Chains A and B, each alone.
Chain A
Amino acid sequence: MTTQPATAPLRDDEPPVNLWRDAWARLSRNRLAVLSLAIIGLLAFVAVFGPWLTPFDFLSQNLDARNLSPNWVHLFGTDELGRDVFSRVVYGTRTAFVVAIVVTGIAATLGVILGALAGYLGGPFDRFVMWFTDTTMSVPQLLLVVVINASLKPPLVNFMEAQYEATKNGFFRNAIIIDFVLVFGSMALILWPPYARLIRAQVLSIRSRPYVTAARALGLTTPIIIARYIIPNAIGPLIVAISAGLGNAMVLESAFSFLGVGVNPPIPSWGNMISDGLQVWRNHAHLLAAPAIVLGVATIAFSFLGDGLNDALNPRGRK
């Protein structure tokens, strides 16, 4: 063969350009996003290593030191039972992160799978999924969660009790487990629809791209095409949504704890701390301020990071 190959300029000395490197470069120029990332990193560190960082146990009460204002021993003061508020906020961070990550993880996974299938397959399945998301999103979130929570709790408690009777395993008598399953379950059930709609919209535009037709012409199966050709190309907006969704889930968890349907005391959650603090804030403002400020900072950090990621990953918004 005498063909002269059409040679592209080989730039082996330069690092190859790729979406993530590019996005990272743009993200790191955004100061607000970097600051947010740092705050989230710090909170994540605290969530993981909390027990080794706290000066006091979050449960131990010291009735001689009740309702102390912030001081050098108790950085955020103490509550009405003499528990160290700083330690409780640190443990609350753990609760917030676990809830946020697990709930967002479940919701996003569910949403991506249902949304991608709906968009790719179309037809009755698409209509059913979209009807379901519309219905779910049209009911106020808090109301829906309370309803789901209330209707799921008795059967779950009975189920766990039956498991305990059958196995005598203390695990099934753990009220915390039941709480978490309920909180995760009901929150994930109301949070997946936005992810499904986002991914569906992406899939609708991507599935008619030539490379998808090319993949079908290769005889690849539908699951492979969705997993390797469609979802990876739809992932940018999803990452943005997940980042904002983590902050959203933290607020939602706090709201539920505040209403008494979330994580129950004595497990510290920012929400139930705010709820407790609200009753005494005139006299002991720090009990309300400490968890509320941390929650506020965390939420804002997540949404600014989401914003930064949006700018970094969205090619149309490039400056």
Chain B
Amino acid sequence: MSERLLDVRDLKIEIDTRRGRAVVVDGIDLHVDKGETLGVVGESGCGKSLTMLSLVGLLPNRIHTTGGSAHFAGTDLLRMQPAELRAVRGGRIGFVFQDPMTSLNPVMRIGDQLMESLRQHKRLDKAAARQRAGELLKLVGIPGAEQRLESFPHELSGGMRQRVMIAIGLACDPDLLIADEPTTALDVTIQAQIVELVKGLKQRLGMSVVWITHDLALIAGLADRIAVLYAGTVVEDAPAELLFRDPAHPYTRGLLASIPRLHGEDGARLSSIGGTPPEPGRRPQGCPFAPRCPLAEAMCHDIVPALAPLRGVATPHRVACHVANRVREAA
């Protein structure tokens, strides 16, 4: 097995509300190996982004991590001093955010924004940082990179800005790049370009990538392994190919079934999962998916299933479901 870069265990995140603390992330287990791309899939509000922000201490006010650990290259990020953590963010962990339109400082030139983290973490002088900034823009495929250093964000299109964001995330040669829905705000053709870009860069630079998305189809060709999140827990974690071929969790199956197909039957209704995910603070007692689950049994409503390896498969395929094993064996 290759080396673990990031190992998140039993992570808990809670929000302070007027009615007390509400659990939003309830014991997430995730890991990323060196050189691996992990896709994190889940619907809005399932805790994908909070999990990633919590790793580097960027949770908004009133949201706290209340348990678990997150070892990054051997040290627990959740127990680091603020100054140490600051050296990790932007230095060893690069971030790419969702909305390239608002994630760049509108009054600062592209070049200066690229140089910020280089000067902060690598202590480069102005000239060296500038040269590196130019190289980075070239790396992410921006034409006329040198001139573009002088541009302001509003002079670039959305796709170009996301390229710039990626360049900023890569500036200090991070071991891990966390991309939080980096293509959600872009149109489909640009999405494909960004996916290709990150794929190419990953191979060239040998870093690990965590790609957060709610779009399964998008990461099908990108991720080595996919973790499916539901209501703040990991419900399934499997190599990408396996997950698509043989999904084990009823939620994952529901998700895959709801992807529209180009050559479906005429007039066939799009499959969907009935109901809505539980609100934070009003989680069901047992499996969080039980109220919406077509296969739910009595025990599902009482006992929370643990994330455990699927029986009878060679590759590591973990699923949090009481019935998955039985259903598979019966089939």
Q: What residue of chain A has the Cβ atom nearest to residue B155's Cβ?
A: A16
B108 on interface, CB distance cutoff 8 Å? yes
Task: Collect the chain B residues with CB atoms within 8 Å of residue A6's CB.
Answer: 157, 159-160, 163, 190, 193
A210 to B103, CA, bound (A): 5
Residue B221 lies at the interface, judged by CB distance under 8 Å to chain A: no
**Structural contact, B106 and A1, CB atoms closer than 8 A:** no
Binds A, one of B12-20, B140-148, B317-325: B140-148
Contacts of A214 in B (CB 8 A): 95, 97, 103-104, 165, 168
B105 partner, pick from A8, A217, A233, beta carbons under 8 A: A233
Q: Does B71 contact A (CB under 8 A)?
A: no
The verdict on B152 contacting chain A, using a C-beta distance below 8 Å, is: yes
Say if the beta carbon of A73 comes within 8 Å of chain B.
no
- A229–B103 CA distance with the chains assembled, in angstroms: 11
Q: Contact check, B104 vs A1: say whether CB atoms are below 8 A apart.
A: no
A210 contacts across to B, CB distance below 8 A: 97-99, 102-103
Contact present for A5 and B141 (CB under 8 Å): yes
Please indicate which of the listed interface residues A19, A217, A220 has the most CB atoms of chain B within 10 Å of its own CB.
A217
- Complex partner residue of B89 from A5, A17, A216, A228, CB under 8 angstroms: A216
* B107 CB–A CB distance under 8 Å: yes
List residues of chain A with CB within 8 A of the CB of B108. Answer: 228-229, 232
A219 pairs with B87, CB closer than 8 A: yes
CA distance A127 to B104 in the complex (A): 30
Q: Is A7 on the interface with B (CB-CB < 8 A)?
A: yes
Interface residues on B, range: 35 or more
Set of chain B residues within 8 Å of A122, measured between Cβ atoms: 61
Q: For B107, what are the chain A residues with a Cβ–Cβ distance below 8 Å?
A: 19, 232-233
A248-264 vs B: 1/0 string, CB under 8 Å?
Answer: 00000000000000000
| Interface size, A (range) | 20 to 34
User: Which of the candidate stretches B72-80, B116-124, B298-306 sits at the interface with the other chain?
Assistant: B116-124
Contacts A16-B152, A16-B155, A17-B154 hold; do A217 and B160 have CB atoms under 8 A apart?
A: no
A138 on interface, CB distance cutoff 8 Å = no
Determine which of A3, A18, A217, A221 lies in contact with B196 in the assembled complex, contact meaning CB atoms within 8 Å.
A3
Task: Tell me if A218 and B97 are in contact (CB < 8 A).
Answer: no
A143: CB under 8 A from chain B?
A: no
In the complex with contacts A19-B107, A220-B90, A7-B117 CB distance below 8 A: no
Kindly report which residue of chain B lies nearest to residue A19, judged by CB atoms: B107
A209 an interface residue at 8 Å Cβ cutoff? Answer: yes
Q: How far is the CA of A2 from the CA of B192 in the complex (A)?
A: 12
Q: Is B88 an interface residue (CB 8 A)?
A: yes
Chain B residues with CB under 8 A of A71? none
A279 to B230 Cα, complex, angstroms = 83
Interface set, chain B 51-100, CB cutoff 8 A to A:
56, 58, 60-61, 86-91, 95, 97-99
- CB–CB B97/A213 < 8 A: yes
**For window 22-70 of chain B, which residues contact chain A by CB distance below 8 Å?**
56, 58, 60-61
Closest to A11 in B: B155
Complex CA–CA separation, A228 to B88 (angstroms): 21
> Is A166's CB within 8 Å of the partner chain B?
no
Cα–Cα distance between A224 and B88 once the two chains are bound (Å) = 17
| Chain A contacts for B159, CB-based, 8 A | 6
B197 at the interface (CB under 8 A from A): yes
Minimum distance in angstroms from B129 CB to a CB of chain A: 13
Q: Does A4 contact B (CB under 8 A)?
A: yes
Chain B 109-151: CB-based contact to A (< 8 A → 1; otherwise 0): 0000000110011000000000000000000011110010001
CA of A240 to CA of B116, assembled, Å: 30
Q: Which of A3, A216, A217 contacts B197 (CB 8 A)?
A: A3
Which listed residue (B104, B151, B160) contacts A211, Cβ 8 A?
Answer: B104
Residues of chain A lying within 8 A (CB to CB) of residue B104: 211, 214
Q: Which of B146-194 contact A (CB under 8 A)?
A: 147, 151-152, 154-157, 159-160, 163, 165, 168, 190, 193
Q: Is the CB of A217 within 8 A of B143?
A: no
Least Cβ–Cβ distance between B204 and chain A, in angstroms: 8
Interface 0/1 of A42-71, CB less than 8 Å to B = 000000000000000000000000000000
A16 CA to B116 CA, complexed, in Å? 23
Judged by a CB distance under 8 angstroms, whether A137 is at the interface is no
Contact of B193 among A4, A221, A224, A233 (CB under 8 A): A4
User: For residue B151, which residues in chain A have a CB less than 8 angstroms away from its CB?
Assistant: 16
Task: Determine whether the beta carbon of B88 is less than 8 Å from that of A219.
Answer: yes
B294 at the interface (CB under 8 A from A): no
Q: Nearest residue in A to B56 (C-beta to C-beta)?
A: A217
A215 within 8 A of B: yes
By the criterion CB–CB under 8 Å, are A217 and B58 in contact? yes
For residue A209, which residues in chain B have a CB less than 8 angstroms away from its CB?
A: 102
CB distance A1 to B89 under 8 Å?
Answer: no
State in angstroms the CA–CA spacing of A12 and B155 once bound together.
11
Contacts of A1 in B (CB 8 A): 141, 196-197, 200
CB distance from B184 to the nearest CB of A (A): 13
Greatest chain B CB density within 10 A among A1, A18, A209, A228 is at A1
B100, chain A: closest CB distance, angstroms: 9
Q: Residues of A contacting B91 with CB < 8 Å?
A: 219
Q: What sequence of 0s and 1s flags, for each residue 270-307 of chain A, a beta carbon within 8 Å of any chain B beta carbon?
A: 00000000000000000000000000000000000000
User: Is the CB–CB distance between A211 and B141 below 8 Å?
Assistant: no
Taking A3-B197, A6-B159, A6-B190 as contacts, is the C-beta distance between A221 and B99 under 8 angstroms?
no
User: Could you pull out 5 A-B pairs where Cβ atoms are within 8 angstroms?
Assistant: A5-B142, A5-B163, A210-B99, A211-B103, A213-B97
Please list the residues of chain A having a beta carbon within 8 angstroms of any beta carbon in chain B.
1-8, 10, 12, 16-19, 122, 208-211, 213-221, 224, 228-229, 232-233
B→A interface (CB under 8 Å): 56, 58, 60-61, 86-91, 95, 97-99, 102-108, 116-117, 120-121, 141-144, 147, 151-152, 154-157, 159-160, 163, 165, 168, 190, 193, 196-197, 200
Known: A232-B107, A233-B105. 10 other contacts (CB 8 A): A1-B200, A5-B141, A5-B143, A5-B193, A16-B151, A210-B97, A211-B106, A215-B116, A219-B90, A228-B105
